[in-house]
Amino acid sequence: MIKTFVKSVLGPLCGLAALVVIVACEPIKPEHCPYADWAATGELHAAKGYQSRLPGLLDTCMKVGVLPDADAYLAGYRRGLLSFCTIENGWVWGEHRNLNPWVCPPSMAEGFDRGFAVRSKLEALIIEEQNLRQARNSIEERLAAGEPVTYEEVYDMRKMTKELERLNAERERTRNGFANWLSAIGLVAPHDLFKY
């Protein structure tokens, strides 16, 4: 969408388009207030998962005597939420983030929240599994090298193996549950769901 926007204003308006993108992405500078496209700013803030930044924009722009167009900003923000609050975006957002931004209104939140929760849970399971495997492998390497190992460490190694089995079952349940939910609403599971 941003590419389409930028392409449509090439030529004499290119400089203004760049200013709009800069204003929308970064904290606004007072000197940009008179030239801001408030609808585009609101739309971009929502599309990036930000809470509404209208109060901060009002504070900044009022310093130079410019009153932001709140109606245009909020209309753009609502449009941006339509592109942000999707199952697909929740899935992508959950890969490297452990906090949901909680910007989606209740009528749009279910898909985003479910995609986010499943992805972040699968990511957490991977980390937990890697830590367990590393701890278990350390004990196994010491055993293989003939180094002394305590009974407690052998017992812990058995517990770790059982915990790894539990994590694997939980991962299967989570993956299959999400795939079945998507299938029930007529969608195909993300291609990387089963890499977990």
Q: Are residues 70 and 114 in the same domain?
A: no
Instruction: Kindly report which listed range (24-33, 57-66, 79-88, 110-119) carries the lowest average pLDDT score.
Output: 24-33
Of 51, 84, 117, which closes a domain? Answer: 84
Q: Are residues 49 and 104 in the same domain?
A: no
Instruction: Kindly report which listed range (28-32, 50-54, 61-65, 68-72) carries the lowest average pLDDT score.
Output: 28-32
Q: Which of 129, 152, 154 is nearest to 139 (CA)?
A: 154
Q: Residue 152 is which amino acid?
A: E
Q: For residue 99, what is the DSSP state?
A: S
Of the chain, the end-to-end C-alpha distance in Å amounts to 31
Name the band, by pLDDT with cuts 50, 70 and 90, for residue 2: very low
- Is 94 among the domain residues? no
Q: Are residues 35 and 76 in the same domain?
A: yes
Residue 96: per-residue pLDDT: 84
Residue 24: per-residue pLDDT: 40
> How many angstroms separate the CA atoms of 68 and 63, rounded?
11
Name the band, by pLDDT with cuts 50, 70 and 90, for residue 196: confident
Q: Residue 12 is which amino acid?
A: P
pLDDT of 157 higher than 50: yes
Q: Are residues 68 and 103 in the same domain?
A: no
Total domains in the fold of the chain: 2
Q: Are residues 141 and 182 in the same domain?
A: yes
Query: In residues, how long is the chain?
Result: 196
Q: Are residues 57 and 110 in the same domain?
A: no
pLDDT over 90, % of the chain: 74
Domain with 13, as residue range(s), is 2-84
Of 36, 56, 84, which closes a domain? Answer: 84
Residue 179: per-residue pLDDT: 96
**160 or 18, higher pLDDT:** 160
Q: pTM of the predicted model, to two decimals?
A: 0.75
Name the band, by pLDDT with cuts 50, 70 and 90, for residue 23: very low
At 104-150, the pLDDT tens digits run 999 999 999 999 999 999 999 999 999 999 999 999 999 899 899 89
Q: Are residues 106 and 72 in the same domain?
A: no
Residue 86, SS3?
A: coil
Q: In the chain, how long is the greatest CA-to-CA distance?
A: 77
- Is 91 among the domain residues? no
Q: Are residues 65 and 105 in the same domain?
A: no
Q: Are residues 112 and 79 in the same domain?
A: no
Q: Are residues 72 and 22 in the same domain?
A: yes
- Is 182 among the domain residues? yes
Both tokens assigned to 181 = 């939910």
Q: Which of 46, 103, 112 is nearest to 79 (CA)?
A: 46
The mean pLDDT of 67-95, rounded to a whole number, is 95
